[in-house]
A = this chain, B = another copy of it.
Amino acid sequence: MTKNYTVAILGATGAVGTRLLSQLEQSEIPVGQIKLLASKRSAGKQLQFHDQSVVVEEATPASFDGVDIVLASAGGAVSKRLLPEAVKRGAVCVDNTSAFRMDPAVPLVVPEVNASALQKHQGIIANPNCSTIQMVAALKPIYDTAGLKQVVVSTYQAGSGAGQRAIQELDQQAQQHLDGQTMTSEIFPVKGAARHYPLAFNLLPQIDVFEPDGSTHEEWKMVHETKKILLDDMDATAIKVNATCVRVPVVIGHGESVYFEVAHPEKMNPTKMKEVLQQAPGVVVQDDPATQLYPQPINAAGTTATYVGRIRADLENQGGYNLWVVADNLLKGAAANTVAIAATLVKNQWL
């Protein structure tokens, strides 16, 4: 008899939380009972799970009694406080925040890339940053075929990465601009920052806070998460990674211009690259200059694949290649990957 799981969603009312619920509905995880947890402010709201109306409860340590799986996306501070409580009560937690990503005891997983890392979990598994997930999904088959020496990525990240209210702010700013009014800003680039700037019809080269070295924390995450996922070591020097993260006035769907040098140029060419990408799980190749086919955020939104196009060799540098990678940052970059991790745990009985 198949076991039915009690699943809790922590942060159920947010931009990612509501998508965790719909992804869970579509997953192969046999859900016996669902618990929707959020802050006191959101408690009492009702959300639909299949044909069942579920009341959102305030998250407390006791909420996790009897829970088998926690899917968390309520911010790093909440995860830090509550997930250890859930683990104490026997739950396995898949966390979409950055709270535990760099903990050596916590696997950082994109299932189609490094599912086997899940086997060593100790109760908490981390979902990588949205911009990292889609990049490693595209790079993994290339890394397996010809190795990687260096990656230089520039991101074009959608406003929804800053949360549900940020989506409304972007729309509001766009309407202000079209009406000839001054755009107002309270969230972008970073909610808690001292200064706010409009994103509509603009570009903001700041995502998350600045590190002492002049990079942003988002850039830091892309460098170190990529290494932890591909090399199982966040400080490894075997692959050099350089990231520039820019917020762009798109609602859903991150774009990435990824330049890289393979370690073994003789093992790779553009045709081969297209082949290994077409065979890669979770990757959809959209690449035909003749018909102007390439990934676009408005087409990726609402789907769970990683789209790759503009595949080409650097004619000036042997072993250098370019890719253009697009994915729905709220699904592939968050909810869908989180649920896919839980489904992999269930399928392999790794809970």
Query: Which residues on A are within 8 Å of B, measured CB to CB?
Result: 150, 152, 154, 156, 171, 174-175, 177-178, 189, 193-195, 197-198, 201-206, 210, 213-215, 223, 237, 240-242, 244, 246, 248-251, 253, 255, 257, 259, 270, 289-292, 294-298, 309-312, 314-317, 320, 322, 324, 326
Smallest CB–CB gap between A172 and chain B, Å?
9
Smallest CB–CB gap between A80 and chain B, Å?
25
CA gap between A181 and B192 in the complex, in Å:
34
Known: A156-B246, A244-B322. A255 touches B316 (CB 8 A): no
CB pair B294 A206 closer than 8 Å: yes
| Stoichiometry, copies per complex | 2
Q: Which of B215, B237, B259, B315 contacts A312 (CB 8 A)?
A: B215
CB pair B242 A205 closer than 8 Å: no
Smallest CB–CB gap between A242 and chain B, Å?
5
Smallest CB–CB gap between A238 and chain B, Å?
11
CA gap between A249 and B206 in the complex, in Å:
18
Q: Which of B213, B253, B290, B295 contacts A315 (CB 8 A)?
A: B213
CA gap between A242 and B319 in the complex, in Å:
13
29 pairs, CB–CB < 8 Å, chain A vs chain B: A150-B316, A152-B152, A154-B259, A156-B203, A156-B246, A175-B178, A178-B178, A189-B292, A195-B292, A197-B296, A203-B248, A203-B253, A203-B255, A205-B255, A205-B257, A205-B310, A210-B289, A213-B312, A214-B311, A240-B316, A240-B317, A242-B317, A242-B322, A244-B322, A244-B324, A246-B255, A246-B257, A248-B249, A257-B257
